[in-house]
Amino acid sequence: MQSTVLLLGLFAASIPAVPLDQQPLVADLSGDAQISSELLGASPNTLHGRFLHITDFHPDRYYKAGSAIDEGKRSCHHGKGPAGYFGQEGSECDSPITLVNETFRWIGENLKDQIDFVVWTGDSVRHDNDEHIPRTDDEIVEVNEFMSQKWLELFGKRKNPTGPGSIPRVSVPVIPTFGNNDITPHNIFRAGPNSWTRKFAEVWHHFIPEDQRHSFVEGGWFLSEVIPGKLVVISLNTMYFFESNSAVDGCNGKSQPGYEHMEWLRVQLQFLRSRGMKAILTGHVAPARSREKNNWDETCWQKYTLWTDRYRDVIVGGLYGHMNVDHFMLQDSHDVEIEGAEKTTSGPVTTMSKEDYLVSLRNQWSELPSPPSGVFEDLTTMDESTEVGPAKNGKKKGKKRRKYLKKIGGEWAERYSVSLVSPSVVPNFFPTLRVIEYNITGLENSVFEDQFNYLDTDDSSLLAMEEPSPETQKKKKNKHKKKPDFKIPDGPSRSAPPGPAYSNQPLTFLSWTQYFANLTQLNHTVGSEGEEPRIKYEIEYSTRDKGVCQMKDLTVRSFLELATRIGEDGAVSKDVESDPTVNKKQKVNEAWRTFLARAFTGFIDVDDLDVDMESPVQ
């Protein structure tokens, strides 16, 4: 309680005494960024309950519209062919600068004034594909500087005259993170401090809060307090978890940067809990883990899943990129075998097709506990009425229900946590971006910028809180789980209500809207003389859309429900398939079908995929 009061006090103190329109603007813009005139007179921004997640731009200065697209690794750089003006949809080509510029223009005209912050999850430069034009350190830094400049052009920046050190900031926080292509050679990221962490501390100067600079140079990780006293976004350096980074070795060895990173994360989460604050976790490489594909070193996945379970009262959700397909994944806390940190047999299967990966996810989901019919509806009604009324279902149903709830970790499904993967701007399919809506009940008048410096992470009182509870000690007795040589964090206190990832409350993710640009269509309009070509993003879908994949909110339970549905066998009787005369009522799992169509941003006709639409292959 005391800390809340303290934070409120600080919050009030940081509201400038000078009217905002008299605040001096930073004059020495390092680049060409123009400060938009409306910013000069801007009033304190109130929350909109929306933020942007955008990822994998892959801008390529060598992209040539009208070049060949069938030249393997030289495609879109060379020869003559149909390479599109805004990029070549459905190819391995990177993004032309025209696509990047137009995407920023579109955001400026359509989203800029409606979002509270931007989560920008890396890979902001081309791939290292074309051996005729190898990438250089300079190119990587220059292109990342260009990208940072684009955000500054969009959101301007100004000084916080009351904050310590008068830190210049963008008017909307932007939270970047390292992608595996934002370094040379790609994937290889050594322990910090190193030349990349130092360089990007400059490149992302405007996005990394001053008090986080040190931690960033140490390891490329930091956090940004996007709603003062309420919400931080934690930028993880997933390069230290990434299986393909051969310069490091997981998260168990004390000398490993992955170990240090997890320790840092644990301390942050503990600190946030003690202040009643919440956190969004973000990074580039998603913690994908299925029988066939592991993105992260198993020891890192283990700790991450343990942390997300223990801090389930603090973590709002996890947002990632890298994979370019739209999907989500569940982390199951029952898979944590701390110590069991032996590697699983499956390494990263880089040649695995995206379809095969999605099929393997579905296989996983087909093994989720099967819910008794109507259980999710019952849970929903229970949320809304305060009464816990078992009567109408009868005894037998009540028992089934209790059994199921026990399996999924109670009525909030706290056994699981969720990571969301947004598809990319680079048009492997169509370019896309995502706007996530979150609950701001009671926060409407919060200011969302310019104050972030009081999160002092050197708080030694923290150490006192890190002794494992009797509960965790007991859990560790399980004979498969050997005693770890690091601190197992406590879970939430018994009396703590479920966190925002589990029950709808302030900061809970409510829905997202996925936008896409139909490059096929746009390319036809390019060249119609006169006007500058314009890109247009349109709505691909919203998670609220009616139909099989409709989600009432984005709580873990809603994802569990959807994943369970996707994992089920398709409906309709057996013999229909082979009989061409039967009227097209095929045995199709529509939730799975929709999930696949969205995975490929609507670019691919899912009926053309060699994927079973009916039952998951075990």
Ligand X SMILES: *[C@@H]1O[C@H](CO)[C@@H](O)[C@H](O)[C@H]1NC(C)=O
Binding site for ligand X (CB under 6 A): 82, 84, 97-98, 101, 150, 153, 439, 441, 504-506, 510, 518, 520-521, 523, 526-527, 602
Asked if residue 519 lies in contact with residue 430, where contact means CB atoms within 8 angstroms, the answer is yes
- 526 versus 548: smaller Cβ distance to ligand X: 526
Cα torsion angle, 35, 40, 41, 46, sign: positive
Burial class of residue 45, CB neighbours in 10 A (0-12, 13-18, 19+) = middle
- 268 versus 439: smaller Cβ distance to ligand X: 439
- Rounded least distance, CB 83 to ligand X, Å: 7
Largest CA distance in the chain: 77
Residue 228 token pair: 């003062």
User: Which residue of this chain has its Cβ atom nearest to ligand X in the complex?
Assistant: 82
- 261 versus 312: smaller Cβ distance to ligand X: 312
- 108 versus 348: smaller Cβ distance to ligand X: 108
Find the helix or strand (DSSP H, E) in which 16 lies.
none
Asked if residue 223 lies in contact with residue 212, where contact means CB atoms within 8 angstroms, the answer is yes
Helix pair angle (354-366, 556-567), 10° resolution: 100
Cα end-to-end span (Å), the chain: 51
Distance CA 13, CA 559 (A): 40
Residue 388 token pair: 């816990």
- Rounded least distance, CB 594 to ligand X, Å: 13
Asked if residue 601 lies in contact with residue 326, where contact means CB atoms within 8 angstroms, the answer is yes
SS3 of residue 515 by DSSP = strand
- Rounded least distance, CB 453 to ligand X, Å: 29
CA-based nearest residue to 96, from 150, 58, 60? 60
CA-based nearest residue to 267, from 510, 18, 473, 457? 457
- Rounded least distance, CB 296 to ligand X, Å: 32
- Rounded least distance, CB 520 to ligand X, Å: 4
- 65 versus 233: smaller Cβ distance to ligand X: 65
- Rounded least distance, CB 429 to ligand X, Å: 10
- Rounded least distance, CB 276 to ligand X, Å: 14
Distance CA 575, CA 344 (A): 39
Amino acid in position 60: D
Burial class of residue 542, CB neighbours in 10 A (0-12, 13-18, 19+) = middle
Question: If you search the block for the tokens 């997933």, which residue do you land on?
Answer: 238
Asked if residue 394 lies in contact with residue 294, where contact means CB atoms within 8 angstroms, the answer is no
- 251 versus 554: smaller Cβ distance to ligand X: 554
- 153 versus 568: smaller Cβ distance to ligand X: 153
- Rounded least distance, CB 63 to ligand X, Å: 10
- 33 versus 368: smaller Cβ distance to ligand X: 33
- Rounded least distance, CB 391 to ligand X, Å: 26
- Rounded least distance, CB 142 to ligand X, Å: 12
- 381 versus 521: smaller Cβ distance to ligand X: 521
- 145 versus 332: smaller Cβ distance to ligand X: 145
- Rounded least distance, CB 579 to ligand X, Å: 30
The CB density around residue 206, as the number of other CB atoms within 10 Å, is 21
Please enumerate in sequence order all residues whose Cβ is within 8 A of that of 140, keeping only pairs 6 or more positions apart, or say none.
125, 182, 183, 184
- 84 versus 570: smaller Cβ distance to ligand X: 84
Residue 483 token pair: 């005693």
- 9 versus 82: smaller Cβ distance to ligand X: 82
- Rounded least distance, CB 564 to ligand X, Å: 22
Asked if residue 86 lies in contact with residue 100, where contact means CB atoms within 8 angstroms, the answer is no
- 54 versus 510: smaller Cβ distance to ligand X: 510
Residue 336 token pair: 């944590």
Cα separations in angstroms, 418 against 140, 315, 317: 32, 10, 7
Question: If you search the block for the tokens 């250089």, which residue do you land on?
Answer: 136
- 95 versus 212: smaller Cβ distance to ligand X: 95
Please enumerate in sequence order all residues whose Cβ is within 8 A of that of 343, keeping only pairs 6 or more positions apart, or say none.
297, 298, 299
- Rounded least distance, CB 100 to ligand X, Å: 7
Distance CA 439, CA 157 (A): 27
Distance CA 326, CA 511 (A): 14
Residue 397 token pair: 């149903």
Distance CA 240, CA 249 (A): 8
Distance CA 268, CA 456 (A): 10
Distance CA 158, CA 171 (A): 7
- Rounded least distance, CB 4 to ligand X, Å: 17
